[in-house]
Every structure is written in structure tokens, then in C-alpha cells.
């Protein structure tokens, strides 16, 4: 009696009735614009009041610190837009770093090691994708599992050793800057990747389909999108990019360790959510994510310059994350106090045959009209 | 992530009792009996895995089951068990509390500080203080989740950072970066070694917590309502369940139990700094998931979670005995999580098929 759910729940319909299309005004108030504004404001204030913040040297440090976060945030944003999540990214960084160290230690040239690491990343991502799309398991649970598994394997591969004798030419390249500007060289390829991702997400049918999936997986499927395959390849790409992050991390610090980038997934996800991407999928843009990552990075950087202890940085990071998600809710509440809104439970299974993928309960989904990839 | 209401089978996952559509008052029909049997099978499965592991380890090293070793194992498991019990309460409501590790650290440090600065504090007061600190952390989480209606994954990710930051800020500002065993009063330190009938007191505490939480979840209306909320928040609200209040209470319970775990941590390790409990959230969630608590709420029992905690701890203790590198532990935990969710999935699919067949026959 109890346990049989009819294949169509009312929530499925609720997801369909979105508010009317975005007006320009709405766009101004969207997460992207707000976070970008906050970032610009913060950069101005910090440049004026924090000594040394605006120097070329410091800019270099700041950018170097956010490179890997931005890099991994690119594919992970796409994953979150589809309503999934990948918590295993930092463990993939760790495992690829450990494997890179071990292979280099075994005498392979880096020209061979790096492609192998990227291949490994693809396999790790494919494992996630297989569990999520083939077996229909919730990505949250799957990637908590692989978070532990990949990190554990990293320790199995390298133990608590560190491999540090990478060729100087590679490690200096990783932190070299463009002329005297202080801007790291790697920012250039990173920008190319950002552009590619932005184009894919905001200007191609594939990108559109990601938002469609995030808003209603069923609607997406009915409109002919191969949801499973798209998500599978997204996980693969996330794995490859995370492995690339691992390679870069290893070169940048000149050290391959199994515990490299431990806990980085939290920072990446914090940056993405701060950038206005909804954890429920279907909403958010890459500009916001970029601004979110830079904001987190520059807040930490400015506080460090002010000699604020590292402990406070954690409080600020955590506080920013909470504020970032509470603020839109409060704004929405102020805007429409009349409508009683149910609580947004955080998680739900991305069960493939789910009849209803966009439940009505999330206020964040109902309020914004500009889900359609606000640029 | 996405807070999808779930596929037809999701509501049919093995639950201690069925979903809100079958309120506890309803007399258990064959469907409920079927579900109940599945839960028992699921928990027996963990128990079997645990036994298998113990047997294999004992064969490899007979001293694994020596009295002291077993006692150490139970004490280690008890902290994780208490955390997992609290996590279960939150997870069945389709929420998650990632801040438990940081809450544990904060509470452990608070308890330690209290005992160092006021050595005359009676032990029960110190325990209470730790629990209250944890409950306050849980209250903050719960208020943000229930009142501001923000996904708990994000909120507790934020407070994971924030509580840890407060903890280490406190430790560095007070000039007491580390609290050592020598600083703690003897009465408190005695807890770690105390036994009743040969059973460590810390383990008994965990058992009491599990039984109490299990009883409330199973037999109290408010406990049943937590499952209802997790199965379908909208339906729960429509059926008159005060969803916000229940979720808030769940977070307070989780926080308070994390606080208790902090006190237990302080009593057991007696060396405290601001890093106590770092990364525990992974193992806590893992224990619950391995124990059959569905990550998207509505099903699972605290007994399963407790068995999961025991299993994870035993794996950690057994690896060195089996001659395996302790580095394998985390990998094993990850593999176990994946195995557990695959198993749950196939069980729930089969259950859904069985129940559908039953309905078709027009029961």
C-alpha cells in the first residue's frame, strides 16, 4: 500500500510552471550580476585599503592560488547545472598527483606521464558516470564513495612519501609570469578553457540541454536529449580536468603527494555556489562562478595580507558560503512574502527513470526566471 | 543536490516502516511486513560482513579477539557510532549534516577548556557543557536550514569551515593550543578506562544513545514524522507535519550528539587541539550509508548506522592485522559505500517490483 508511488507526482508539473521569461531588470538582479558587483567592489576597497594588495607580485600569488579552483570549477559547474554533483574532484587531483609522482619515480618521461594521468582522470570520471547514469544512483552518495576511494588509492599508490624531483624547466614554467605583469603564464590556457566552457554552456544546444536537464530531467528526455549520455560524458570531462588540475598542482608545488588538494572540493563547490549556481541544478552562469572563485580567493588573500590568522579565513569562507545561499532566499522572501514556500531539502536521487526531477519545493528554482543561462 | 522527489522506487526503499503514505497508525499489511523483512535482511547483511571480517582477521591473527583489543575497538567505534546516530536522524529527513566533525572538535575543546580552567567542575557538568555546545552548533545549522530554507548540504558545508575556524581561533587566542592529559582532572580521565561488567563505559554510552534514538525514531510520532519528511517533504507538509520544526529538532539532536561525541573524544584521547575530529564527516556519512540509511531520506535505521560504524572501525583495526597497509582503509571505506548503495538500489528495485506485483493482484 504505502510504498508504491505513482509514476507521475504532482511535483513534476510544478516544475514546469515557471515564472514568465526574464526581463532585463531581472537579469540585473541575477546572481551573476550581484556577485560580479560584489567582487568589483571588494577589489576596489581592498586595492585602496590593503597595502600591497594591488601589486603585481600579489596579483600573481592571488591568481596562482585560484587557478586550480577555477579550472575544476569549469566542468563541475556544468555538472551542478544538470542537477548532479561530483565531490570526488579533489581526490582525483590527489590520485593523479600520486600516480604522476610514482610514474616519474619509475623513470617515465613527463611527456608520457601527463597523458597517462589525464587518461586516469577520464577513467575515474567514467566510474562516477557509470554509477550515476548506468546504475541510476544518486551522485551525492556515489561521489562521497569515490571521494574516499580515490583518496585512499592515492595513499595506496604513493603512501606518505613525496616525489619532488621534477624537472626544473616544468616547475618554473608552472609559476612563471608573463613579463613583469605578475600574471601567471597558465592564466592564458586557463582563459581559453574558460571561454570554451562559457561558449559551450551559454551558446550551444549542449549547454541549453544542461539547463533543461537541471530544470526537469523528464522534460529534457522528452525533448530528445540523451540525458544519461550527456551526464556520463560530463563526469568523464570532470575527471580529465581534475586530473589536469592534479598535474598542474604537482608542478606548481613541485611535489607529488597523496594528500595534495585534500578538501579542495569544498572550496571549488563554495566558489560555484557563491557564483549563484543553484545546488539543485538548472540555474547559474559561468561568469558568476568565475567571480565567485575570484572573490573567495581575493578575500582570503586580502585577509592574509592584513595578517588575519588562517582560522578566521575559514570562518570567512564558511560564512560567505552560507550568506551566498541565504541572501537570495531572504531577497525572494522580501519580494513575495505572501506565498508560503516549502523548505528546500537538499538532496534527491538523480534516479534516471525518475518521473519527476524538478520538485516544486525549491524556492530558489521558482523565484528566478532567468534559468536559461543568464549570461 | 537536486531535491528531486524521486523515482517510483525511491519511496519504496527499505524503511523501518513505510513512508508517510502509511502512517504508523496503519496496521502493518503484507507490504509493510515485506519492507520490514528487507530492513532486517539489510542489517543482517552488515552483521554478516562484520562477522566475516572478524573471522578472517582472527584466522590471520588470533590475538585480534583478545579482551583488550576488543575493548579498544569498541571504544573507537563508540565515538563514530554516536556521530552516526545523530547523522541518521538528520539524513532520514532528506538533509545532511557535514559539520559534525567540526562540532565534535569545538565541543571537545570547550569541554577540555572548562575542565582545565575550572578543575573542580563535576564530570556530569562537563559532559553537559559539551553537549550544549554541540546542540548550539546544531541549532545554528537547523535555524538556517529550516527557517531560511537553504539546502543543508551547503549550509553545513559552510558551518564545517566556520565551526572549525572558531575552534582554532579560540585555541590560538586563548594561548592553549593543546590540552594535554596532565592538565585534565583525574575524574574525567577515568572515564576512558571505566568499565561496567567488563564493558567500557564509553561503549555503553554509545549503546544507550543508539537504543534511545532508535526507540524515538521507531515508536514516537515525531520520529515517524522524520521519515515522512524525508520520503516526501511536500506530502509531509500537506499532512500537517510541522516540517520546519522537526528538521530543526533533527539538527539540534545531531549537534548535541556530536557534542557528546566531542566529550567522549576528550575523555578517550585526553590530548586536544583544534584539529580534533577533522574529516570525520566523511566516515560518519559513510557509516550511515553503509548501514542502509538512504542519502535522500525516508529510510534506514539507526541500528544499521551503528553497525556501519562498527564495520568501518573494524576494517581500520583489521587491516594491519591482515598484513595490509593501513593506507587501504580509506579506499576500503569508499568501495564499501559504493557497494552499499548499489546493494540498496537493487534491493529497493526488487521490493518495488514485488509490491507492484502485489498491487496488480489487487490486494
Does the model's pTM come out above 0.90?
no
> Domain containing B223 — which CATH number?
1.10.3470
- Provide the pLDDT for residue B359: 62
Alpha-carbon separation of residue A137 from A63, A145, A226, A317, A359 (angstroms): 37, 12, 17, 30, 18
CA-nearest of B172, B163, B169, B192 to B277 is B163
- Residue partners of A172: CB distance under 8 A and separation at least 6: none
Question: Minimal Cα distance from B279: which residue of A?
Answer: A263
- CB nearest A341 (choices: B12, B26, B149): B149
Q: Is A345's CB within 8 Å of B233's CB?
A: yes
CA-nearest of A167, A115, A26, A84 to A348 is A84
B165 touches chain A (CB under 8 A): yes
A356 touches chain B (CB under 8 A): yes
In a domain, B11, yes or no: no
Q: Is B335's CB within 8 Å of A7's CB?
A: no
Domains and CATH numbers, chain A: 26-333 (1.10.3470)
A135 touches chain B (CB under 8 A): yes
In a domain, B290, yes or no: yes
Q: Is B297's CB within 8 Å of A9's CB?
A: no
**B129-178 confidence digits (pLDDT tens):** 999 999 999 999 999 888 887 888 888 888 888 888 888 888 888 777 77
User: Phi and psi dihedrals of B61, rounded to 5?
Assistant: -150, 100
Report helix, strand or coil for B195: strand
Q: Is B2's CB within 8 Å of A156's CB?
A: no
* Average pLDDT of the residues of chain B: 81
Which residues of chain A fall below pLDDT 50? Answer: 1-29, 341, 343-375
Question: Minimal Cα distance from B96: which residue of A?
Answer: A346
In a domain, B198, yes or no: yes
More confident residue, B187 or B16: B187
Q: Is A349's CB within 8 Å of B296's CB?
A: yes
Q: Is B10's CB within 8 Å of A309's CB?
A: no
- Provide the pLDDT for residue A75: 94
pLDDT exceeds 70 at position B6: no
Average pLDDT rounded to a whole number, residues B219-242: 85
Q: Would you list the DSSP string of A273-341?
A: HHTT--TTSS---HHHHHHHHHHHHHHHHHHHHTT--HHHHHHHHHHHHHHHHHHHHHHHHHH--SS--
Report helix, strand or coil for B192: helix
In a domain, B5, yes or no: no
Q: Which residue has cell 559505500? A: B337
- Provide the pLDDT for residue A342: 52
Q: Best residue in A347, A354, A364 to probe B by mutation, most B CBs within 10 Å?
A: A347
Residues of chain B by 3-state class (helix, strand, coil), percent to 5:
75, 0, 25
Confidence of residue B260 (pLDDT cuts 50, 70, 90): very high
For residues B13 and B304, the answer to whether their CB atoms sit within 8 Å is no
More confident residue, B41 or B311: B311
In chain A, residues 19-58 whose CB comes closer than 8 Å to chain B: none
Q: How far is B146 from chain A (nearest CA, A)?
A: 7
For residues B110 and B130, the answer to whether their CB atoms sit within 8 Å is yes
Confidence of residue B31 (pLDDT cuts 50, 70, 90): low
B233 touches chain A (CB under 8 A): yes
Domain count, chain B: 1
In a domain, B202, yes or no: yes
More confident residue, A371 or B292: B292
In a domain, B4, yes or no: no
**B51-78 confidence digits (pLDDT tens):** 888 888 888 888 777 777 888 888 889 9
Q: Would you list the DSSP string of B272-340?
A: B-TTTTTTHHHHHHHHHHHTT--TTSS---HHHHHHHHHHHHHHHHHHHHTT--TTHHHHHHHHHHHHH
Q: Mean pLDDT lowest for which of B24-28, B253-257, B274-278?
A: B24-28
In a domain, B93, yes or no: yes
pLDDT exceeds 70 at position B81: yes
Report the distance separating Cα B203 and Cα B184, nearest Å: 21
Report helix, strand or coil for A184: strand
Residues of B in contact with A355 (CB under 8 A): 7-8
Report the distance separating Cα A77 and Cα A84, nearest Å: 10
For residues A235 and A129, the answer to whether their CB atoms sit within 8 Å is yes
Whether ipTM exceeds 0.85: no
For residues A238 and A197, the answer to whether their CB atoms sit within 8 Å is no
Domain span holding position B93: 30-360
In a domain, B3, yes or no: no
**B317-351 confidence digits (pLDDT tens):** 888 877 777 788 888 888 888 888 888 888 878 87
User: Phi and psi dihedrals of B200, rounded to 5?
Assistant: -60, 140
Report the distance separating Cα B262 and Cα B269, nearest Å: 10
B7 touches chain A (CB under 8 A): yes
- Provide the pLDDT for residue B48: 85
- Provide the pLDDT for residue B122: 83
Quick one: what percent of chain B has pLDDT higher than 90? 18
Q: Is A148's CB within 8 Å of B289's CB?
A: no
For residues B9 and B326, the answer to whether their CB atoms sit within 8 Å is no
- Provide the pLDDT for residue A13: 40
- Provide the pLDDT for residue A92: 95
- Provide the pLDDT for residue A196: 93
Report the distance separating Cα A161 and Cα B8, nearest Å: 48
For residues A15 and B2, the answer to whether their CB atoms sit within 8 Å is no
- Provide the pLDDT for residue B16: 44
- Provide the pLDDT for residue A371: 38
Q: Is B296's CB within 8 Å of A273's CB?
A: no
Amino acid at each position: 500500500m504505502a510504498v508504491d508511488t505513482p509514476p507521475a507526482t504532482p511535483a513534476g508539473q510544478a516544475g514546469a510552471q515557471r515564472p514568465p521569461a526574464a526581463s532585463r531588470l531581472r537579469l540585473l538582479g541575477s546572481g551573476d550580476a550581484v556577485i560580479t558587483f560584489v567582487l568589483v567592489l571588494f577589489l576596489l576597497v581592498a586595492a585602496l585599503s590593503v597595502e600591497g594588495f594591488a601589486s603585481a607580485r600579489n596579483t600573481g600569488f592571488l591568481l596562482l592560488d585560484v587557478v586550480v579552483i577555477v579550472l575544476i570549477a569549469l566542468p563541475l559547474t556544468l555538472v551542478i547545472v544538470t542537477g548532479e554533483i561530483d565531490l570526488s574532484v579533489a581526490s582525483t587531483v590527489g590520485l593523479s598527483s600520486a600516480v604522476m609522482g610514482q610514474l616519474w619515480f619509475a623513470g617515465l618521461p613527463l611527456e608520457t606521464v601527463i597523458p597517462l594521468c589525464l587518461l586516469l582522470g577520464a577513467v575515474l570520471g567514467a566510474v562516477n558516470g557509470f554509477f550515476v547514469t548506468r546504475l541510476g544512483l544518486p551522485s551525492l552518495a556515489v561521489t562521497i564513495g569515490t571521494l574516499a576511494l580515490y583518496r585512499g588509492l592515492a595513499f595506496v599508490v604513493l603512501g606518505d612519501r613525496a616525489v619532488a624531483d621534477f624537472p626544473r624547466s616544468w616547475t618554473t614554467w608552472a609559476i612563471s609570469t608573463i613579463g613583469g605583469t605578475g600574471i601567471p603564464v597558465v592564466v592564458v590556457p586557463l582563459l581559453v578553457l574558460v571561454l570554451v566552457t562559457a561558449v559551450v554552456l551559454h551558446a550551444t544546444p549542449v549547454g541549453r540541454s544542461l539547463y533543461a536537464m537541471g530544470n526537469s530531467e523528464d522534460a529534457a528526455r522528452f525533448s530528445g536529449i540523451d540525458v544519461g549520455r550527456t551526464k556520463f560524458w560530463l563526469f568523464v570531462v570532470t575527471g580529465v580536468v581534475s586530473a589536469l588540475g592534479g598535474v598542474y598542482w604537482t608542478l606548481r608545488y613541485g611535489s607529488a603527494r597523496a594528500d595534495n588538494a585534500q578538501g579542495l572540493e569544498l572550496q571549488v563547490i563554495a566558489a560555484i555556489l557563491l557564483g549563484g549556481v543553484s545546488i539543485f541544478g538548472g540555474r547559474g552562469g559561468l561568469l558568476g562562478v568565475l567571480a565567485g572563485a575570484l572573490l573567495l580567493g581575493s578575500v582570503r588573500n586580502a585577509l592574509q595580507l592584513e595578517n588575519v590568522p588562517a582560522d578566521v579565513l575559514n570562518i570567512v569562507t564558511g560564512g560567505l558560503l552560507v550568506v551566498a545561499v541565504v541572501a537570495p532566499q531572504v531577497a525572494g522572501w522580501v519580494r513575495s512574502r505572501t506565498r508560503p514556500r516549502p523548505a528546500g531539502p537538499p538532496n534527491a536521487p538523480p534516479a534516471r527513470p525518475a518521473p519527476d526531477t524538478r520538485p516544486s519545493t525549491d524556492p530558489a528554482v521558482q523565484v528566478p526566471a532567468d534559468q536559461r543561462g543568464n549570461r | 543536490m537536486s531535491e528531486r522527489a524521486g523515482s517510483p522506487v525511491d519511496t519504496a526503499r527499505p524503511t523501518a516502516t513505510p513512508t508517510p503514505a502509511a502512517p504508523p497508525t496503519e496496521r502493518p499489511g503484507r507490504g509493510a511486513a515485506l519492507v520490514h523483512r528487507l530492513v532486517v535482511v539489510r542489517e543482517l547483511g552488515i552483521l554478516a560482513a562484520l562477522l566475516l571480517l572478524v573471522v578472517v582477521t582472527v584466522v590471520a591473527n588470533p590475538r585480534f579477539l583478545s579482551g583488550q583489543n576488543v575493548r579498544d575497538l569498541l571504544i573507537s567505534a563508540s565515538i563514530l557510532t554516536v556521530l552516526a546516530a545523530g547523522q541518521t536522524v538528520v539524513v532520514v529527513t532528506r538533509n545532511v549534516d557535514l559539520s559534525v566533525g567540526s562540532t565534535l572538535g569545538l565541543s571537545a575543546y570547550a569541554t577540555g577548556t572548562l575542565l582545565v580552567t575550572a578543575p573542580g567542575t563535576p564530570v556530569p557538568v562537563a559532559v553537559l557543557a559539551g553537549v550544549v555546545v554541540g546542540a548550539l552548533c546544531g541549532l545554528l545549522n537547523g535555524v538556517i536550514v529550516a527557517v531560511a530554507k537553504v539546502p543543508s548540504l551547503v549550509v553545513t558545508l559552510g558551518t564545517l569551515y566556520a565551526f572549525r575556524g572558531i575552534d582554532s581561533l579560540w585555541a590560538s587566542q586563548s594561548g592553549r593550543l593543546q590540552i594535554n592529559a596532565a592538565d585534565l582532572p583525574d575524574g574525567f580521565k577515568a572515564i576512558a578506562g571505566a568499565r561496567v561488567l567488563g564493558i567500557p563505559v564509553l561503549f555503553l554510552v554509545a549503546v544507550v544513545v543508539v537504543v534511545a534514538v532508535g526507540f524515538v525514531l521507531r515508536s514516537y510520532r515525531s520520529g515517524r514524522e522524520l521519515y515522512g519528511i524525508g520520503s516526501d517533504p511536500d506530502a509531509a507538509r500537506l499532512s500537517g507535519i510541522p516540517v520546519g520544526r522537526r528538521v530543526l529538532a533533527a539538527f539540534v539532536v545531531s549537534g548535541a550528539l556530536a557534542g557528546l561525541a566531542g566529550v567522549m573524544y576528550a575523555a578517550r584521547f585526553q590530548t586536544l587541539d583544534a584539529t580534533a575530529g577533522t574529516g570525520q564527516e566523511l566516515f560518519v556519512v559513510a557509516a550511515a550509508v553503509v548501514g542502509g540509511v538512504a542519502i535522500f531520506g525516508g529510510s534506514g535505521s539507526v541500528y544499521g548506522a551503528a553497525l556501519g560504524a562498527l564495520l568501518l572501525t573494524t576494517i581500520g583495526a583489521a587491516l594491519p592485522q591482515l598484513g595490509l597497509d593501513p593506507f587501504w582503509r580509506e579506499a576500503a571505506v569508499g568501495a564499501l559505500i559504493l557497494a552499499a548503495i548499489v546493494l540498496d538500489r537493487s534491493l529497493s528495485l526488487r521490493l518495488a517490483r514485488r509490491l507492484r506485483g502485489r498491487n496488480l493482484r489487487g490486494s
